[in-house]
Each structure stands twice: as structure tokens, then as C-alpha cells.
Amino acid sequence: MFGIYWDCDGTLMDTEKAFAYAWQEILKSKNLDLPIEHFDQYVGVDDRIVHEKYSSEVNLPPFQETMNLISEIILKNFGEKTLFDDALQCLEYFYNHDWKQACVSASPQNHLENKLKETAIYQYFHLVVGGDTVDRNKPHPDIYIDSINKLKTTKNIIIEDSPFGIESGVGSGAFVIAIDRGVFTHDQLSSAYLIVDKITPEIILEVSESL
């Protein structure tokens, strides 16, 4: 049985910069003014790690309260326009062809579910898994291994956009496709088995034939 396991931020949705601007706004309110490029290093990183890092520099609220603030900032301008068209096309295609699909993200579970519902794609997934549901988030493979075990799929494709996500996916034993969204270099994405500029149903079907 085939399974497609989608990362969320940067893969399904153009939200990487939105997170960066949200963190920038919160930190600026604490008198820590950082350039937006500074936050590129945290793309795909567990939010708990990011929160811990900045909590050592400024007086941040507890983790959950901080994530609620970030979510509020992002959702101000959230909507269907946030989705990448190529990913949406694939979601719809494989949903209509009865493939199992999951969304597996480093983001906390409740924030992940909110994003999927706000963009009206929650219904495409058989399983939604956030990073706070496992002891070891990406780049460890646990989150993908657990998701694959829950869906009981045997031929698995993971779609990612960041080095940490790719590392997590490769460690799970699945076939990993990296989408180059222009945030990372090809060298940084090179651990994936395939790098594409755009994801299509044809690409996923071709990969599935080799599994």
C-alpha cells in the first residue's frame, strides 16, 4: 500500500518567511532586533529548540504561550493563497485516487491542525502528526517511522524541503523527494533521493513504480 508523507511549512505552504517575521516581531518587542535572514538557520528546526535558544537571550513567555503568539501573527494573513499550487494539485490527485496521505511536521500538533484547516486541506489527510507528539522531533526519524507504522503503508514517499526534514525522512527508510523552494542550495538538499523544482503527480507516480 502506497503512502505519501508531506512536510508542511515550505513544502505544502509558503510559510517559512511568515514564521521568521513572527519570531522577528516577538523578539523585537523584547528589544532583540535581528535581520530577517538570521532566521533562515532555523527552517525545519523543532520550535522547542528555537524557543529554548531565544529564551536564553530574552525573557520569553513559556513555550506554548509563545507558539500561540506566533500562530496569531501568522494567521492574520493566512488563507488558501498560502498554499503552493503544485502541492495542492498533488494532494487533490492522490486523494481522488485513494492513496493514503499524511502531514508530518515539526510544528506543534494544534498549530499544524489549525494551518491545515485554515487552508482547507485538512480533509486530504488520513493522519496529521505534529512535532510535539514525539520525544525526538526532526531531524530524528521517529516522527516519520511512527507515522508510517500508524498508516501501515509499505511503499512510502516523503516530500520535504529542508535539510533537517530530509535527514528525518531518509532515516525512516522511505524514499525522500526534496522540493527546491529557493531557500536552500542543492548541496544542502543533496541527501534526498530526488530533488525537483516543482512536484507533480507524474513525478510521484514515476517514483512509486520503482518502490
pLDDT digits 0-9 by tens, 93-102 = 999 999 999 9
Predicted confidence (pLDDT) per residue in 76-99, tens digit: 766 556 899 999 999 999 999 999
The grid coordinates listed for 199 are 512536484
Q: Which of 195, 159, 153, 118 is nearest to 12 (CA)?
A: 159
Q: What is the pLDDT of residue 80?
A: 54
Between CA 3 and CA 18, with CA 6 as vertex, the angle to 5 degrees is 170
Q: What is the pLDDT of residue 56?
A: 96
- What band does 131 get if pLDDT is binned at 50, 70 and 90? very high
Predicted confidence (pLDDT) per residue in 41-57, tens digit: 888 788 899 999 999 99
Of 109-113, 144-148, 153-157, the one with minimum mean pLDDT is 109-113
